[in-house]
Structure 1
Amino acid sequence: MLVGSALSALLGFAFVILLGRLLGADGSGVVLQMVAVFTIALSIGALGLDTAAIWLLPRLRQEQPELVRPALVGMVLIGLAWSCLVVLAWYAVSTFLPLDEVGSTLDLAAPFLVAAVLLTIFVAGTRALGTVYPFAVIDRTLVPGLRLLLLATGVLGTGTLAVTAAWTLPWAVGALVSLATLWVVVRRRSAPSERLLPSRDVVRRILTFAVPRTVSNGLDQTLVWADVLIVGALAGAAAAGMYGAAARFVFAGFIVVTALRIAVGPRFSALVGSGDRTTLSELYSATAGWALLLGGPVYVTLAIFSPVVLGWLGDDFDGARPAMTLLCVGALVLVGAGNIQTLLIMTGRSGLVMVNKSVVVAVNIVANLVLVPRWGIEGAAVAWTASMLLDTALAAVQVRRTTHVKLPWRPAVRVLAALTVCVAAPQLLVASVLGQTTPALAVGIAAGGVAFGAYLVLDRRHLKLDQVRARA
């Protein structure tokens, strides 16, 4: 799982670099605004059914195994119908909107939303039935790999519409592969059932959990992508391209950390359902530390060597350096909290998560509208970082009240101190001596890696690294 997620992060980095090289800041801004709208629409189109599968199916396997297959069929049919309605709604609305370049890319991308929704539900079903490999191979490797291949070979062209096609077509391929994979997993890992369709009670359980998650997921993705859209609206496509590219570099690093969330989500659900608070607390604390160990070095390196990384995209992106550094600070806060959001969701309180996201998105949008006209893309980065702090704080308080599990602040501070001494200090020294160059980046990564690796060996007992294979 970690290998697949790491590969996905690298593919994401490569796609952003190639996008910047091909289209520059202006064209990249158009494509990234399309990606922003599509991703938000996907979070709504999936209707929270992916999370509902992770929450419900492990419990059904324990309590009523004969209901697993009908429940999964119901989720797929509901997702198919709802996503088709979302696509039709877009075309109905778009007829009244001015047809600009972003709108044209969205018209081309819209039909692939159905495939993206189905892929999301299919791989969630395999995860809920106890295997994360289809998610890692299909969602995290095959789909981004095909995107990069189509873009690099230029078989579809190199304009914004061609890049849109290269980004969306792999959803359809992934959906077909994931459907075949789910069929095999279901036959092997679930009990036969006399029913094809779920009962009304099961449908009610699915929708009661999933509908609030739809709002929460939409708000969650809005929180990630709203700043790109606001920057594009207020500062133009070039600014959106610079900020969006910097943000994609930072957010690509989340993929490795997300691997832990994917692995432990069903386990969280089972532990909450069984009432085993001791094991739940230990699992959360351990995985929170591992998340910071995985993500911390990435964000420290991106912050220090941001001029080098952005330079790979071309001269158009040099102005995004301060924003990228600020985003890295926010990312460190987010990964330091571990899987706090997942744990809150797996308690079954999807309505509470929806309220949290509503508050945080409102704060984020207002902050962007105030700060972007004054500070440009740096204002967008400050707004996002502040929003992440608020989102984490709300979830931490609510998890503590509902499960008595606390954020592991002391281990986080310990790891942050190690990152400062073992990664930041050597890399700053390398940058001051060798300058902001790609060879200096390579030397900085090597120096920080050796020092941080030594720390991991010396502090492995406190970090509980001996449990990684067993837990993750």
Structure 2
Amino acid sequence: MAVLDKPAAGARGAARGGLANMAGSALAGGTGVAVTWIVARSLGAEQAGAFFAATAAFVLAGGLAKLGTQTGLVYWPARLRATGRTHLLGACLRTGLMPVMVLSVVLAVAMWLAAPAIARLTAGESAHVVGAHTAGLRVLALFLPLQAMTDALLTATRGYRAMRPTVTLDRLLRSGMQLGLVGLAGVTALWTAASLPMFALAWAAPYLPVTILSAYALRRLYREAKAPGVTTRRAERSALRREFWRFTGPRAIASVAQLALQRIDVLLVAAFGGLVAAAVYAVAGRFVVLIQFANQGISQSVQPRLAEALAVGDRRAANDLYQTATGWLVLVTWPVNLLVIFFAPVWLRLFGDRYAAEGVAVVAVLAGAMLVATGCGMVDMVLAMAGRTSWNLVNVLVALAVTVVLDVLLIPRYGALGAAIGLACSMVVNNLLPLIQVGRSAGLHPFGRGTRAAGLLAVACFGVLPWCLTAVSLGRTSAVLVAVPVFLAGAWLLRVPLALDAFKPMRRTS
């Protein structure tokens, strides 16, 4: 049998799941950037802005339909298994999934009916795109229930510590199909007029097969874990429903506010700054999604293990997991953030000269905020797993208020840069508030040896070295070719504080 202490075992389990999830997330993030490029180049700035506004509305409505179950459907299955109440898993799944199914249909109908009003609101002075914008919103409305159910079903599989369905179905299959279908739409646009509804259909269609496969994956996991011949009493099911929604209710509002933090700025830029500014902002901020995918890749693997540790009062194991995972997150995301700033004038020009002219400052502001956010680790999730979902709700609402107020004040004057400043301030607020709360209420913090080592290494190799090398007339690419091996060598030398040995296969002794 494997000989490991409990914290090390948790780190190894998180490493195995997190590595696969991060690899899938990297691919999904890359395909997302490719999709953004195809849309921006095929539709032109105005219609591309309408497309990004439509998908933002779609994701916001889907987030509302999920009712916060992204947390509840991991927290409760993990807690039930840790406390020996596996016979209630079926009731838990029904409690979380059925309301999502019903509400997603209601919101899809509402989105269909409200599409003309949303299009007029976000089109601003670009009245000639309202018709296509409305049609695109209605195409997306048809797929809204599938999007909500896909996320809820895959969340539930993670409650069983199963990362593979999320990686293979969401990160690989869905994102790969989106790239293929949007790419096909882009090729078609070379011979015919580009159609926003056609691109919306290509982007949303993959949710159909992925929803079906996600339901099958969850059904299989449930049957494997179900205790044979065990029945549940009505009182137990009723008590579970009350506890589930008492925990998940605040998170339902918080999850919508969290999505609003990520998406409402695009709608506000479209409404106050125009569709062209919205397109610039969406393209320049696309790298944020890459960072969020990396965060999700690690967080989703750590989440059930952290919930189990906190459920049985093992705060040492929980703190070790939090600090180790934060070190990995900084090691992966800080180099990306710093390279995004360094190469901003280059990669933005691939989307068009206007994006390069107006987007560099947007990138710098958002990347700086992401350094702070990732340095705090997955603190929002840690606070929720500690049972403080009401605190989580207050934090997100405060951050959302910061975004909306600053956007309304700054977008009319500064356009996309004003929205970037608003989002950056809200990200800082939304991470520092829960960081203080987690430390005071649960005695947890992310600043272990691994976090400090990863941060210093990333800043030295990608925040200082490339700029010094370019200052002595070395090209950007050459400077990075020097920085990368230095970074890899430093990671190897610091492998012990970074806990990189957790990624090695376990040795088994009889």
Could you say which TM-score interval applies, normalised by the shorter chain?
Answer: over 0.9
Question: What percentage of residue pairs aligned between the two structures are identical?
Answer: 26
Are residues 459 and 310 of structure 1, via their aligned partners in 2, closer, same or farther at CA, if it must alter by over 3 Å?
Answer: same
Say yes or no: does 1:458 pair with 2:478.
no
Cα distance 1:426–1:281, how it changes in 2: closer, same or farther (>3 A)?
Answer: same
* 1:111 aligned counterpart, secondary structure: helix
Alignment-derived partner of residue 368 in structure 1:
407
Give the Cα separation in 2 of the matches to 1:332 and 1:59: 32
Q: CA deviation at 1:210?
A: 2.1
Partner Cα distance (2:106, 2:232) in 1: 27
In structure 2, relative to structure 1, the CA distance for the partners of 1:113 and 1:431 (3 Å cut) is farther
For residue 462 of structure 1, give the secondary structure of its aligned residue in structure 2: coil
Correspondence list, 1:47-196, <5 A: 47-62=67-82, 63-94=84-115, 100=130, 101-154=132-185, 158-192=194-228, 193-194=230-231
Report the Cα distance in structure 2 between the residues aligned to 1:452 and 1:76, rounded to whole angstroms. Answer: 44
The answer to whether residue 56 in structure 2 is matched with residue 36 in structure 1 is yes
Any gaps of 5 or more consecutive residues in structure 1?
A: none
Partner secondary structure for residue 284 of structure 1: helix
Question: Which residue of 1 is the match for residue 5 of structure 2?
Answer: none
Using a 3 Å threshold, how does the CA distance of structure 1 residues 97 and 336 change in structure 2: closer, same or farther? Answer: closer
- CA shift, 1:464, in A, is 1.9
Deviations 1:345-404 (A, max 9, x none): 111221111111111100111011112222221121111111111111110111112211
Which secondary structure state, in structure 2, belongs to the residue aligned with residue 461 of structure 1? coil
Residue 350, structure 1, aligned to residue 371, structure 2: no
Residues 68, 191 of structure 1: 8 Å contact kept: no
Q: Show the 5 A alignment for 1:305-454.
A: 305-318=343-356, 319-408=358-447, 412-429=451-468, 431=470, 433=473, 440-441=476-477, 443-454=478-489
1:279 counterpart residue number: 317
The 2-side partners of 1:126 and 1:94 are apart by 33
- What is the identity, as a one-letter code, of the residue corresponding to 1:449? V
Change (3 A) 1:98 1:300: closer
Give the partner amino acid of 2:289: F
Work out whether residues 323 and 377 of structure 1, in 8 Å CA contact, stay in contact via their aligned partners in 2.
yes
1:190-339 correspondence to structure 2 within 5 Å: 190-192=226-228, 193-194=230-231, 199-318=237-356, 319-339=358-378
The amino acid across from 2:209 in the alignment is V
Residue-by-residue CA offset, 1:199-223 (whole Å, 9 max, x unaligned):
2222222222222111101100111
Counterparts of 2:401 and 2:233, CA distance in 1: 42
Single out whichever of 85-94 and 62-71 deviates more from structure 2: 85-94
How far apart are residue 410 of structure 1 and its match?
6.9
User: Would you say the 8 A contact 2:453–2:497 is kept in 1?
Assistant: no
> What letter matches 1:385 in structure 2?
A
Q: C-alpha distance in 2, partners of 1:330/1:16?
A: 22
Counterpart amino acid of 1:133?
Answer: R
Shift of 1:460: 1.6
Partner amino acid for 2:184?
T
Contact 2:70–2:152 (8 Å) recurs in 1: yes
- Name the Cα RMSD after superposition: 2.2
How far off its partner does 1:411 sit? 5.3
- Pairs aligned (count): 466
Shift in alpha-carbon separation, 1:414–1:29, aligned structure 2, 3 A: same
Q: Which one-letter code corresponds to 2:493 in the other structure?
A: L
Q: How far is the alpha carbon of 1:231 from its aligned partner?
A: 1.0
Structure 2: distance between partners of 1:368 and 1:169: 32
Paired AA for residue 277 in structure 2: A
Residue range with higher mean Cα deviation, 101-110 or 329-338: 101-110
Return the TM-score normalized by structure 2.
0.86
Partner letter of residue 89 of structure 1?
A
